[in-house]
Chains A and B, each alone.
Chain A
Amino acid sequence: QSALTQPPSASGSPGQSVTISCTGTSSDVGGYNFVSWYQQYPGKAPKLMIYDVTKRPSGVPDRFSASKSGNTASLTVSGLQPDDEADYFCTSYGGTNVLLFGGGTKLSVL
């Protein structure tokens, strides 16, 4: 199975909202409700922002929300702040012993 498809970059101004997509297939994103999103600063480990498509771990601001439609999952960051500038990766379960990552999206806050 191939990696999930994300746009390489996204951008927005402070206070605006931006949405990042993550496209898979019916065998992964579309077939299971196990999509997660991670935030990663350069040289740092990823941080879990969303799991099970829409759930936020404790401590993640509610400015981060997510959804799924068909084979595409989406992460929305509302009220953009400068420290939201980072790379964002999606993951999806793809069946037994399959966990796929997206290629990542670099979010710029202009």
Chain B
Amino acid sequence: QVQLVQSGSELKKPGASVKVSCKASGYTFNNYNINWVRQAPGQGPEWMGWIHSNTGKPTYAQAFTGRYVLSLDTSVNTAYLQISGLKAEDTAVYYCARKSLCGSSACYGAFDLWGQGTLVTVSS
């Protein structure tokens, strides 16, 4: 079955770190890049960045530099999002999403497979 399965909910204190995993199955992991999207409660989504599934090279949106690290472990078909120095405003659902392959089009923003989301709650 083609799917992305994310790790479970996390409750963290301010200043702590969290690492969210996103395990792919049912397709060739190296053929599709992985993006990450944050959705705060009651808000629209925000694109955080993406990681190249072959090279492991991450690219970050401007608002997500510094405390955020995207990484891969291709041996287990898994992508990771690590956030350090957690703040209350990091409380959100974090999604990994597979970038579509669209033939000759770059189809930016087309994500055809999503993980179920991981709720990260930051509270003292």
Chain B 104-122, CB-CB to A under 8 Å as 1, else 0, gives 0111111110111100000
B81 to chain A, nearest CB (A): 15
Contact, CB under 8 Å: B44 / A99 = no
Q: Are A92 and B61 in contact (CB under 8 A)?
A: no
**Across the interface, do B116 and A101 meet the contact criterion of CB distance under 8 Å?**
no
Q: How far is the CB of A49 from chain B (nearest CB, A)?
A: 10
Contact with A along B91-114 (1 / 0, CB 8 A): 000010100101001111111101
A110 at the interface (CB under 8 A from B): no
Q: A46 — which chain B residues lie within 8 A by C-beta?
A: 45, 95, 97, 111, 114
B11-68: which residues lie under 8 A (CB-CB) from chain A?
37, 43-47, 49, 59-62
Chain B residues with Cβ under 8 A from A101's Cβ? 37, 44-47
Which of A13-21, A30-38, A75-83 contacts the other chain?
Answer: A30-38
**Bound form: Cα–Cα A103–B45 in Å:** 7
- Chain A residues closer than 8 Å to B107, beta-carbon distance: 34, 36, 51-52
Please measure, in the bound complex, the distance between the C-alpha atom of A99 and the C-alpha atom of B37, giving whole angstroms: 10
A45 contacts B114, C-beta separation under 8 Å: yes
Instruction: State whether A98 touches B114 (Cβ < 8 A).
Output: no
- Ordered by A's residue number, 16 sampled pairs between the chains whose C-beta atoms are within 8 Å are A6-B44, A34-B106, A34-B107, A34-B109, A45-B115, A46-B45, A46-B114, A48-B100, A52-B105, A55-B102, A57-B112, A89-B44, A89-B45, A99-B109, A103-B44, A104-B44
Residues of A that sit less than 8 Å from B by CB: 3, 6, 32, 34-36, 45-48, 51-52, 55, 57, 89, 91-93, 97-104
